[in-house]
């Protein structure tokens, strides 16, 4: 009852092929967007922006990127942290090398640079498959981190190897640097997230997305029916890395403001994003958002409950937090291996029939 | 022969011994992967947990003391006894067996027939859980592990080889602890190979590794085998944890040794025990020699972390299934 | 339903929690961004315990600072920069007076934020060295000493034991391959030009359990002295490896972050003679410990497990708290109000003066160097002492006085680096 598609007739192919073919879905989507754009910026404060929303939005981009590669194209990658570092450092070099370049272009260009690097490290995927590939992408992770730490050119020969985001503006509003305001940075990230998510959604529904999925389901069969594995895998690596690079650039320039490569873009980051993708659901854009929300919110929530409300010592709370996050991941995988996105689909099915079970 | 040549040999010897340690960790991975197709990321944390438990039992730390103290306002930390090393090792083995049973009962049983990546993620979840749980149980402080293995350069070897390279050469430097570790690893590997070749359980193990369904149909209990395999992996983790823990104390970073084992796995193949050993040796020697010849003089050092992966990556491009992995046959 | 309840719970929980503990603004709030978990937990615990215990003492003994009770909010960062940001944002609304990020990475992150919010940072012996230039870094303080002072102190110590001439000697720096570890390189290079010693650099990757290659290299090259910029497990491993190759321990000098009990105890007797820098006193032979015992420990209020008293890092945490309390007193004095704001706290820190008498009065005679902070110099005098580990007695001994470091070299570097920052971020150099 709550959720119905009866009477929702389509008269054109265009209407039938739209992203949200069901009216209810579509309206819900508009409401969420309207809320995110029109309400949140006015009620947001520093804590919400910096501790919850910004990491959520940025990780959502990264998760969409990894989902393209792992969820749609079936290539498991553990090099996400390294690729994010590429995004961050190219953003830094662009920002300092061309002070007049618009920050938006800096971020997008860093995505392009990352895409190139990602394609380079994607080449072995033509020969290596499965877990061998996953471990092989770790080579990218460790090598890139080492490179950014070692070669002083990347951090402009500063004494300590830290990179700091200088102040940059867009339409007169400060996007990076010290004196940014929460609504502005939030909106900047939000616009990027929404645009990139729409692009990703449409890519995965089109020719390219279908060839990725064919490769994922069985690469030899796909090759036989005429999908070019070189093209499919490399585009997946390239586009996925573009997203991840943009996420890395935002993480550095807008969110953190200062970055040290080993600490921020270490192997933990790769695992974190992979978690998001799997918890959220492989092969689902909504799942990327759900996974990012889950992994960003859960620790903050647990911390606030355990330390803030119950007043436990911080160390015990953190250990417990680890144990609970681990436990929840396992429980989730057991209950619903296909992630939150699948859970959502099941709920939709239930809602369609509710309150009559048959 | 110039001194630098002998130093090269010395670096190689040390690389070999480091390689044995890598093999030890990699072995735990291979065992589980062979028997259940699970890439067990928690292996490193298992090593940490085993070492923590060993220290905890040895020195009589009250489990969960921090939590108890916080909840009840008490001040308990130690039972005040010291358990002899051998007994505590046996107890830890018991703990690891219980752990294996729990993993099977609570996790694996429910995830039969899932895709490998889901199983992999489950082990990452397990790793998170154990990391938090281990620290809750034993506390996060750095702990000194003393199982009576001497440390330090072996003076005998050093002095008896010092004549080789002239005045600039001080003799081969080999760490006594590493020598012990090497011996232990060799013993462990040999006994594992013997176990899997000549015992009934070992044969069942190999049968499961070959073909789950065929093994099931001749009456081998998959679940028992999984418990056994995880127990053995737990034991291997204990040995690895003891060796590394004795070197640098038992603390969080111990769990990162899992990362050192991954390139070994790539190189040797996920399914091959000899592969893990030879892969470990190649990686150990390779990364130390690279650091010695190229890394330190030309690239500014600290290349060991990525070199192993690069080596394995380049290698895999030519042989995608690793050195000894089963040939990947794909059918449509 | 699960998802819905979960999200609902998440939203409600996250919404209410930051506001639930709405500040009682009457208290003076000192957040403690600690790390009792993660790779550096072993070092984070004693520091956090010491920091908090001293505030407890101030509350119990003196009834707070100038009549205002002190409230310490502990927030766990796990040495993770993102958690650090979360901690900063969640505590700053509670009226936090000063932050001790206790991690170089988090410090760099908070520098612009603290400038924007006007909340001072105190990065004692770590963080961004050039923040010593208060004209550029208005809200950042790193007194009483910084990394570059440390590098110079090592060289000065070598000069001392070599009667002022170290020409032709070799010094190897074993460093953590991160921002922190790379800090001293520049200074050491300058000093090597000045004094004519040879410097070789050995990077160790995080976490630093694997150092065989580096120490084999040291064994081959036999540098006269080795100095170390390490942290966490790297320290103990390095000292162990040095003992293994029988490197003379008295020629091995660590920075102050490589000189705690955690680093030498695992090595046992062989660590005897290892040296490390410090900028405050060691051991528990200070009158303040009697007070701590009376007012805090015996009341059952000791923070954490209560087993860290008198360790180097516990003392350091206590020292940091002491300096914060003194600065708060100063701020109260300047602004003539007990209920100070972060901006007043900043003024207090800038006008801070620690004298011998003041320290004696606090029960910490000769615990640290006497110094005075000014707007031009947020870094203090940069005095450092050398400690030596006595394995048999199981304690550190202070073997030199707090000695001057080479401010000619360091000052130049500080100006260079801070003006680069000022230019990049368009900061006006000024003393308010």
Secondary structure, 3-state, chain B: CCHHHHHHHHHHHHHHHHHHHHHHHHHHHHHHHHHHCCCCCCHHHHHHHHHHHHHHHHHCECCCHHHHHHHHCCCCCECCCCCCHHHHHHHHHHHHHHHHHHHHHHCHHHHCCCCHHHHHHHHHHHHHHHHHHHHHHHCCCCECCCCCCCCCECHHHHHHHCCCCCCCCCCCCCEHHHHHHHHHHHHHHHHHHHHHHHCHHHHHHHHHHHCHHHHHHCCCCHHHHHHHHHHHHHHHHHHHHHHHHHHHCECHHHHHHHHHHHHHHHHHCCCCHHHHHHHHHHHHHHHHHHHHHHHHHHHCCCCHHHHHHHHHHHHHHHCCCCCCCCCCCCCC
Task: Tell me what the mean pLDDT of segment A275-287 comes to.
Answer: 88
Q: Which chains touch A (3 or more CB pairs under 8 A)?
A: B, C
- Do the domain assignments include residue A69? yes
Q: Give the closest-approach CA distance of C289 to chain A in angstroms.
A: 24
What's the distance, CA B190 to chain centroid? 16
Chain A CB contacts of C42 below 8 Å:
none
A256 pLDDT more than 60: yes
CB-based burial label for A39 (10 Å; 0-12, 13-18, 19+): exposed
Query: Which pLDDT tens digit goes with each residue over A20-66?
Result: 777 777 888 888 889 888 888 888 888 888 888 999 999 999 999 99
Q: Which residue of B has its CA nearest to C46?
A: B141
- Do the domain assignments include residue A6? no
What is the average pLDDT score of chain A? 87
Q: Which residue of C has its CA nearest to B256?
A: C207
Same domain, C139 and C153: no
Interface of B with C (CB under 8 A): 7, 10-11, 14, 18, 66, 69, 73, 75, 77, 135, 139-142, 144, 151-153, 170, 173, 175, 244, 247-249, 251-254, 256-257, 260, 288, 291-292, 295-296, 300-302, 304-305
Contact (CB<8Å) B152/C243: yes
Q: Give the closest-approach CA distance of C247 to chain B in angstroms.
A: 11
Go through chain C and tell me how many residues it has: 432
Query: Which pLDDT tens digit goes with each residue over B147-168?
Result: 777 777 777 777 777 776 666 6
Q: Give the closest-approach CA distance of B5 to chain A in angstroms.
A: 28
Percent of all residues in chain B with a pLDDT value above 70, rounded to a whole number: 97
pTM confidence score: 0.90
Query: Which pLDDT tens digit goes with each residue over B49-67?
Result: 999 999 989 888 888 877 7
Query: Which pLDDT tens digit goes with each residue over C20-55?
Result: 344 444 588 999 988 888 778 888 889 999 999 999
Q: What is the pLDDT of residue B251?
A: 79
Using the 3D structure, point to which of C233, C250, C278 is the last residue of a domain: C278
- Do the domain assignments include residue A50? yes
Same domain, C340 and C352: yes
- Do the domain assignments include residue A286? no
Q: What is the pLDDT of residue C17?
A: 42
Query: How many separate domains does chain A show?
Result: 1
Same domain, C161 and C262: yes
A315 pLDDT more than 90: no
Q: Where are the strands (E) in chain A, listed by range?
A: 163-164, 169-170, 173-174, 258-259
Query: Which pLDDT tens digit goes with each residue over C304-349?
Result: 777 788 899 999 999 999 999 999 999 999 998 888 999 999 999 9
Query: How many separate domains does chain C show?
Result: 2
Percent of all residues in chain A with a pLDDT value above 90, rounded to a whole number: 33
* Residues in chain C where the model's pLDDT stays below 50: 1-25
Q: Place A2 in a pLDDT band, splitting at 50, 70 and 90.
A: low
Nearest CB to C116 within list A146, A178, A319: A178
What is the average pLDDT score of chain B? 83
Provide the token pair at B67.
Answer: 């939590």
Same domain, C215 and C326: no
Q: Could you tell me the CA-to-CA distances from A169 to A172, A175, A182, A196, A280 in Å, in that order?
A: 6, 5, 14, 21, 34
Sign of the torsion formed by the C-alpha atoms of A108, A109, A111 and A112: positive
- Do the domain assignments include residue C401? no
- Do the domain assignments include residue A198? yes
- Do the domain assignments include residue A355? no
Residue whose C-alpha is closest to residue B291's, from A294, C212, C293, A256: C212
Nearest CB to B11 within list C37, C216, C305: C216
Could you list the residue range(s) of the whole structural domain that residue C159 is in?
A: 148-278
Quickly tell me which residue has 């990077």 as its tokens.
C203
Q: What is the pLDDT of residue A76?
A: 87
Using the 3D structure, point to which of C278, C308, C338 is the last residue of a domain: C278
- Do the domain assignments include residue C8? no
Among A283-297, B253-267, C140-154, which stretch is predicted with the lowest mean pLDDT? Answer: B253-267
Same domain, C177 and C294: no
ipTM of the complex: 0.85
- Do the domain assignments include residue A323? no
Among A136-150, A312-326, B314-328, which stretch is predicted with the lowest mean pLDDT? Answer: B314-328
Q: Which chains touch B (3 or more CB pairs under 8 A)?
A: A, C
Query: Which pLDDT tens digit goes with each residue over B279-292?
Result: 999 998 998 888 88
- Do the domain assignments include residue C209? yes
A243 pLDDT more than 90: yes
- Do the domain assignments include residue C171? yes
Chain A CB contacts of C413 below 8 Å:
159
- Do the domain assignments include residue C402? no
Query: Which pLDDT tens digit goes with each residue over A175-191?
Result: 887 777 888 889 999 99
Chain A CB contacts of C112 below 8 Å:
164, 177-178, 257-258
Could you list the residue range(s) of the whole structural domain that residue A66 is in?
A: 46-265
- Do the domain assignments include residue C430? no
Chain A CB contacts of B270 below 8 Å:
131-132
Which of C210, C211, C298, C313 to mutate: most B Cβ within 10 Å?
A: C210
Termini Cα distance of chain B: 58
Using the 3D structure, point to which of C243, C278, C313 is the last residue of a domain: C278
Q: What is the pLDDT of residue B102?
A: 92
Contact (CB<8Å) A314/C178: no
Same domain, C235 and C290: no
Q: Is C391 in the B-facing interface, judged by CB distances under 8 Å?
A: no
- Which CATH number fits the domain that encloses residue C166? 3.40.50.2300
B247 pLDDT more than 80: no
Among A4-13, A266-275, C317-326, which stretch is predicted with the lowest mean pLDDT? Answer: A4-13
Nearest CB to C210 within list B11, B141, B304: B304
Same domain, C161 and C271: yes
């Amino acid at each position: 009852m709550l959720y119905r598609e009866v009477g929702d007739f389509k008269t054109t192919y265009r209407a039938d092929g739209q992203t949200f073919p069901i009216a209810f879905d579509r309206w819900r989507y508009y409401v969420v967007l309207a809320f995110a754009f029109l309400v949140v910026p006015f009620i947001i404060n520093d804590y919400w922006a910096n501790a919850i929303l910004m990491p959520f939005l940025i990780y959502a981009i990264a998760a969409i990127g990894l989902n393209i590669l792992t969820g749609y194209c079936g290539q498991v990658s553990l090099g996400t942290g390294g690729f994010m570092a590429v995004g961050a450092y190219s953003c830094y070099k662009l920002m300092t090398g061309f002070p007049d370049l618009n920050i938006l272009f800096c971020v997008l260009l860093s995505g392009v640079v990352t895409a190139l690097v990602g394609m380079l490290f994607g080449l072995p995927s033509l020969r290596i498959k499965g877990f061998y590939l996953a471990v092989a992408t770790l080579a990218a992770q460790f090598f890139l981190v080492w490179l950014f730490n070692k070669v002083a050119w990347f951090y402009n020969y500063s004494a300590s190897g830290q990179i700091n985001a200088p102040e940059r503006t867009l339409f007169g509003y400060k996007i990076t640097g010290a004196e940014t305001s929460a609504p502005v940075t939030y909106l900047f990230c939000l616009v990027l997230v929404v645009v990139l998510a729409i692009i990703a959604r449409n890519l995965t529904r089109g020719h390219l997305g279908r060839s990725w999925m064919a490769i994922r389901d069985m690469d030899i069969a796909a090759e036989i029916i005429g999908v070019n594995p070189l093209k499919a895998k490399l585009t997946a690596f390239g586009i996925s890395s573009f997203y991840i690079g943009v996420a890395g650039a935002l993480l550095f320039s807008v969110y953190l403001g200062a970055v040290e490569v080993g600490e921020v873009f270490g192997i933990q980051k790769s695992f974190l994003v992979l978690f998001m993708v799997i918890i959220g659901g492989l092969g689902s854009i909504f799942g990327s958002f759900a996974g990012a929300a889950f992994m960003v919110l859960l620790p903050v929530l647990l911390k606030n409950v355990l330390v803030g409300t119950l007043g436990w010592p911080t160390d015990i709370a953190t250990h417990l937090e680890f144990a609970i996050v681990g436990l929840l991941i396992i429980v989730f995988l057991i209950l619903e291996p296909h992630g939150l996105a699948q859970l959502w689909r099941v709920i939709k099915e239930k809602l369609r029939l509710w309150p009559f079970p048959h | 022969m110039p001194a630098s040549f002998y130093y090269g040999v010395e670096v190689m010897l040390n690389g070999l011994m480091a390689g044995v340690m890598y093999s030890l960790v990699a072995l735990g991975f291979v065992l589980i992967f062979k028997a259940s197709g699970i890439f067990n990321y928690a292996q490193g944390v298992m090593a940490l947990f085993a070492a923590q438990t060993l220290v905890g039992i040895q020195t009589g730390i009250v489990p969960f003391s921090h939590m108890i103290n916080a909840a009840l306002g008490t001040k308990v930390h130690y039972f005040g006894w010291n358990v002899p090393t051998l007994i505590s090792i046996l107890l830890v083995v018991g703990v690891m067996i219980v752990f294996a049973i729990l993993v099977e009962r609570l996790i694996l049983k429910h995830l039969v027939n899932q895709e490998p990546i889901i199983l992999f993620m489950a082990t990452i979840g397990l790793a998170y859980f154990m990391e938090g749980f281990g620290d809750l149980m034993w506390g996060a402080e750095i702990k000194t592990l003393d199982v009576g293995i001497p440390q330090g350069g072996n003076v005998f070897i050093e002095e008896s080889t010092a004549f080789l390279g002239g005045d600039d050469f001080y003799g081969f430097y080999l760490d006594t602890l590493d020598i012990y570790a090497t011996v232990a690893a060799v013993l462990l590997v040999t006994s594992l190979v013997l176990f899997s070749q000549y015992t009934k359980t070992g044969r069942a193990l190999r049968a499961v590794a070959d073909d789950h369904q065929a093994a099931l149909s001749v009456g081998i209990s998959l679940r028992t085998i999984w418990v056994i395999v995880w127990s053995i992996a737990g034991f291997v983790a204990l040995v690895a944890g003891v060796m590394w823990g004795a070197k640098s104390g038992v603390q969080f970073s111990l769990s990162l040794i899992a990362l050192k084992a991954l390139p070994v796995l790539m190189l040797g193949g996920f399914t091959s025990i000899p592969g893990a050993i030879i892969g470990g040796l190649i990686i150990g020697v390779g990364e130390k020699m690279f650091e010695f010849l190229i890394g330190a003089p030309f690239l500014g050092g600290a290349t060991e972390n990525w070199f192993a992966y690069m080596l394995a990556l380049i290698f895999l491009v030519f042989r995608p299934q690793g050195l000894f992995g089963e040939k990947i046959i794909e059918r449509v | 339903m699960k998802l819905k309840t979960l999200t609902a719970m998440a939203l409600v929980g996250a919404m209410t929690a930051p506001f639930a503990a709405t500040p009682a603004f009457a208290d003076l709030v000192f957040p403690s961004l600690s790390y009792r978990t993660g790779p550096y937990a072993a070092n984070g615990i004693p520091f956090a315990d010491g920091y908090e215990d001293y505030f407890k003492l101030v509350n119990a003994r003196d009834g707070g600072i100038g009549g205002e009770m002190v409230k310490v909010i502990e927030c766990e960062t796990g040495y993770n920069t993102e958690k650090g940001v979360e901690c900063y944002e969640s505590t700053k609304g509670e009226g936090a007076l000063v932050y001790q990020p206790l991690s170089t990475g988090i410090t760099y992150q908070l520098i612009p934020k603290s400038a924007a919010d006007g909340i001072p940072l105190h990065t004692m012996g770590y963080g961004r060295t050039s923040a010593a230039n208060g004209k550029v870094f208005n809200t950042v303080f790193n007194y009483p000493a910084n990394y570059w002072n440390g590098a110079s102190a090592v060289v000065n110590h070598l000069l001392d034991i070599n009667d002022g001439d170290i020409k032709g000697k070799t010094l190897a720096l074993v460093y953590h391959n991160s921002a922190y570890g790379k800090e001293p390189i520049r200074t050491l290079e300058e000093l090597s030009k000045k004094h004519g010693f040879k410097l070789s650099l050995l990077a160790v990757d995080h976490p630093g359990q694997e150092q065989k290659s580096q120490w084999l290299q040291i064994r081959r090259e036999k540098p006269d002295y080795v100095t170390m910029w390490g942290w966490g497990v790297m320290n103990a491993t390095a000292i162990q490896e040095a003992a293994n190759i029988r490197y003379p321990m008295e020629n091995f000098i660590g920075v102050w972050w490589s000189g705690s009990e955690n680093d030498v105890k695992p090595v046992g007797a062989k660590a005897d003679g290892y040296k490390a820098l410090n900028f405050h006193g060691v051991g528990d032979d200070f009158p303040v410990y009697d007070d701590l015992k009376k007012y805090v420990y015996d009341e059952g209020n000791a923070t954490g497990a209560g087993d860290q008293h008198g360790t180097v890092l516990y003392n350091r945490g206590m020292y940091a708290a002491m300096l914060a309390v003194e600065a708060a007193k100063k701020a109260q004095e300047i602004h003539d109000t007990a209920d100070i704001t972060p901006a007043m706290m900043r003024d207090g820190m800038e006008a801070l003066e620690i004298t011998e008498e003041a320290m004696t009065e606090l029960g910490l005679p000769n615990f640290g160097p006497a110094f005075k902070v000014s707007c031009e110099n947020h870094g203090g005098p940069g005095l450092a002492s050398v400690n030596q580990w006595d394995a048999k007695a199981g304690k550190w001994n202070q073997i030199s006085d707090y000695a001057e470091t080479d401010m000619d070299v360091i000052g130049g570097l500080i100006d260079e680096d801070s003006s680069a920052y000022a230019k990049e971020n368009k900061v006006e150099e000024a003393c308010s």
